Amino acid sequence: MVLCIGDSLTLGVMGYSYISFLRREERIVNLGVNGDSLWGGTRRLRSCLKKSKYKSADTVVISLGTNDILLPYLSGRSLFWKAQCRLRNLYRSFSSDIWEFAERYETIVRELADEEYKVILIGLPYIQLAGYPLGKVEAYNDCIRSTAKRYGAQFIDIYSMQSRHVKKVRTCSWGRYNFGRLADGMFMLLFPHRKDVLSRKRGLAVTVDGVHFNSGSARLLAGAVERVLG
């Protein structure tokens, strides 16, 4: 059994999840939750590993950390997003500090390694939002890569994989309020197989809305996960 812990990128309601494109005989469990942070996701993972229905799990795929940068970024766009960030931080504790992020990430990977799980770490993705701190994304990915090397885990650099498909830099904005996000969410819920329409409409090479995977990115990541799983 493979447990895939993550946020909305893993869940796949907004955009496409790589899990939808995996072709495996063993059971794949989608443990994605919209808006989750590194702290929130690892807390859920620890809880799941104690449950009898997951006792047969031997592999854990971690895709966490995007919201730890995204929410603080959005908080600087408007008072609405600032309030949203503060509210969510109360119960998800975002790691906007890189040292805190590195410590929390290493802790969960060390715990999994000690329990002899096969661990696959998916780096933070390429984001196509205006003014997004991509340098910080790269720094966080360096932390994840170093942690993977230290504990013998596998690292998948989805950021670099996506970057190679971005021929022309195009970005979009989530606006000052949440209205556009709600409209996107409704469209993707009603038309789950037409999400790439949003990607094409906005001229975005690797995302549907600046953050969530289009089908091309999801397939790229699925292929990489397949190769690592063997």
Domain ranges in the chain? 2-229
| Interaxial angle between packed helices 79-92 and 38-49, expressed in degrees from 0 to 180 and rounded to the nearest 10 | 30
- Fold annotation for 2-229: Rossmann fold (3.40.50)
Are 123 and 156 spatial neighbours (Cβ–Cβ below 8 Å)? yes
Query: Average pLDDT in the 195-199 region?
Result: 96
pLDDT-based confidence at 19, cuts 50/70/90? very high
Query: With 90 as the cut, is the pLDDT of residue 111 above it?
Result: yes
87 against 29, higher pLDDT: 29
H or E segment to which residue 2 belongs:
strand 2-6
- How high is the mean pLDDT of the chain? 94
The predicted pLDDT at position 46 comes to 97
CA distances from 116 to 24, 59, 67 (A): 21, 9, 28
- Please report where in the chains the tokens 């995007």 appear, as a residue: 66
Residues 6 or more apart from 11 whose CB is under 8 A from it?
17, 30, 32, 33, 34
Q: With 80 as the cut, is the pLDDT of residue 108 above it?
A: yes
Position 201 confidence tier, pLDDT thresholds 50, 70, 90: very high
